[in-house]
Amino acid sequence: KEAETDFSKEIEELRAFYRKEALERKVLYNKLQELCGNIQVFCRCRGDSPENLCFEVASDEEVVVSHKGTKKTFFFDKVYSSNATQEELFNGILPMITSCVDGYNICILAYGQTGSGKTYTMMGTKDKPGVNIRCHLTKAFSRKSTVCFTFMMSMTEIYNENLIDLLSNPPTNHLEIRTLGKSIIVPDLTQIDVKTEEDILNVMELGEKNRTMASTNLNFESSRSHLILTLRLAGNDSVSGVTSHGTLTLCDLAGSERISRTEAIGQRLVEAAFINKSLTSLAQVFSALKCNALNVPFRNSKLTHVLQPSLSGDAKDEACVLMNISPDMKNVLETLRTLQFGTSIQQVGLR
């Protein structure tokens, strides 16, 4: 009996040591993020380059844009040339994505004009899968053998300030966003329990199928809406008894372009106005966070309201903006707008 007592005491000491080590690791990670900034800004240059390029990739952190005889240089955390593979891009954000296994809230946003490669970056193709397909996190579970995970998945899109549930059958329109204490919830949102990579791929296939159905029923192109994929993770460590909750939010934003450039009329003009309103609201949120404003205007649009839990959490939370730019000289003004947006959100701290 005395041996059993000694053994139990030893187990408790090991658990305490394990918890202490895990906490120290998180503290070090948080300090590193404070130095680097909670928001990382990456730039990806679309392939199939025309002869008349509007920019050049000067280094892994530098892109130079040529316009009307002048050159303007932009610096970011990472710049991916048109030769960069899907795998290279994903490996660049992999440490951030897998950190949600440790209980962090992570948000990845793809930003840029229509046709700049946002959807290719996020969804990819069957042969060259994008961020959404690669981030299934099941591989990350293997390095946490003592932790039992549950994994819930949802897919929504926002079209003309209409929040649509893509996993309900049929797709549900006009979902409400409510505040519950310090939390933001969508009461009727469908969330599906997933356990394997195949489960996740099947859910994404269902979401894409319903997205096509929703766009047909409401008569709009999917490129005119924001697509949001959310993965919620809960872990329970059998050794330390510690529980963790992380969220990975992946957002393929609608195209950002000037209304005057698109020459939109009728329904397309209305769509463009809603898109610009939501993207302007996103910029205002980042600006307020950067200035440590007391009031951050998350409720100015459905997009920023939905993203509020991802952008207003603890200092440990992180975001990455993947700016996609077109090399074509005719798109140079849109390219400059995208790069200027990326520059404006550098060194933003989440809170």
Per DSSP bridges, beta strands 105-111 and 243-252 are parallel
47 is annotated as contributing to ligand binding: no
CA 123 – CA 252 distance, rounded (Å):
9
Q: Which of 147, 231, 168, 165 is nearest to 197 (CA)?
A: 231
Please give the helix or strand (H or E) that residue 109 lies within, else none: strand 105-111
Dihedrals phi, psi of 203, to nearest 5 degrees: -65, -40
Tell me if 118 is assigned to a ligand binding site: yes
**Hey, CA dihedral for 315, 153, 98, 107, is it positive or negative?**
negative
* Amino acid making up residue 109: L
**70 assigned ligand-binding residue:** no
Helix residue ranges per DSSP H, the chain: 2-36, 86-98, 118-122, 131-134, 138-141, 197-217, 259-262, 266-290, 302-311, 332-344
Task: Count the neighbouring beta carbons within 10 Å of the beta carbon of residue 89.
Answer: 20
> How far is Cα of residue 37 from the mean position of the Cα atoms in its chain?
16
- The annotation status of 117 as a binding-site residue, yes or no, is yes
112 is in an annotated binding site: yes
Cα separation, 69 vs 173, whole angstroms: 48
115 is in an annotated binding site: yes
Strand partners, 328: 53
Cα separations in angstroms, 258 against 273, 276, 337 = 10, 8, 10
Q: How far apart are CA 131 and CA 38, in angstroms?
A: 19
Region for 137 from its dihedrals, namely left if φ exceeds 0, alpha if ψ lies in -120 to 50, beta otherwise: left
Polymer length of the chain: 351
Cα 202 to Cα 47, 218, 241, distances in angstroms? 29, 24, 32
Annotated binding site for ATP: 112-119
Annotated binding site: 112-119
